């Protein structure tokens, strides 16, 4: 594996455990908060899909709303369970994809998949605020993990006392 790839994997695997006390707690709170925000977004999409006159009756958009809510649940659980930079990036990607989908459905002449959305739609402003909060919270959390871990990744050797003792012993 190339050193660049190992370094990238090292950065992606950074989490609160590698950081000093206060930063560790702030990062943990960030992961939990970010996960809850993703869960909130997933709930909004499920609620809109599940209403009697909801989005489930709209071709293509309906199934996408259901997938958005299921995907949000999975991403939220991964963020809280893993608490790693890669999980934060998944949450940020989820939020950005949601924002882009909404903005395309509002701004495109024919909407998205021939469905035109408006800013007056139920929960539109709330969902927008939640998505922006997801990006902000998880980006800050990832930065805390990266900054708090110092030099992240496999290039920083982690030696155990056992490995050191074996290396230092003279061969008999």
pLDDT at 128: 95
pLDDT at 164: 47
Contacts of 84 by beta carbon, 8 Å cutoff, 6+ apart: 12, 13, 14, 15, 145
pLDDT at 1: 62
Is pLDDT of 165 > 70? no
Residue 170's pLDDT band (cuts 50, 70, 90): low
Compute CA 6 distance to the chain's CA centroid, rounded to the nearest angstrom. Answer: 21
The per-residue pLDDT for range 14-32, each reduced to its tens digit, is 777 766 688 889 999 999 9
Q: Which residue has the higher pLDDT, 76 or 116?
A: 76
Q: What is the pTM of this model?
A: 0.78
Mean pLDDT lowest among 11-15, 55-59, 138-142, 156-160: 156-160
What is the average pLDDT value for the chain, to the nearest integer?
84
CB 144, CB 33: distance < 8 Å: no
Is pLDDT of 162 > 70? no
The per-residue pLDDT for range 35-87, each reduced to its tens digit, is 999 999 999 999 999 988 888 989 899 999 999 999 999 999 999 999 999 99
What value does the mean pLDDT take over residues 130-143? 96
- Count Cβ atoms below 10 Å from residue 111 Cβ, excluding itself: 15
* Nearest Cα residue to 134 out of 97, 95, 100, 98: 95
Phi, psi of 86 (to 5 degrees): -60, -35
CA 75/CA 81 separation, integer angstroms: 10
What value does the mean pLDDT take over residues 150-167? 46
CB 102, CB 45: distance < 8 Å: no
């Amino acid at each position: 594996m190339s050193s660049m790839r190992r370094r990238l994997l090292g950065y992606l695997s950074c989490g609160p455990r590698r950081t000093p006390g206060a930063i560790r707690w702030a990062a943990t709170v960030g992961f939990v908060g970010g996960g809850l925000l993703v869960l909130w977004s997933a709930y909004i999409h499920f609620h809109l899909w599940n209403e009697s006159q909801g989005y489930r009756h709209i071709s293509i958009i309906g199934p996408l709303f259901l997938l958005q809510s299921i995907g949000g649940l999975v991403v939220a659980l991964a963020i809280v369970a893993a608490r790693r930079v890669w999980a934060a990036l998944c949450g940020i990607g989820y939020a950005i994809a949601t924002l882009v989908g909404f903005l395309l459905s509002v701004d495109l002449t024919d909407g998205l998949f021939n469905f035109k959305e408006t800013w007056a739609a139920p929960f539109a402003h709330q969902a927008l605020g939640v998505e922006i909060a997801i990006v902000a919270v998880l980006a800050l959390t990832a930065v805390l993990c990266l900054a708090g871990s110092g030099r992240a990744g496999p290039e920083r050797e982690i030696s155990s006392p056992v490995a050191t003792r074996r290396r230092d012993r003279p061969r008999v």
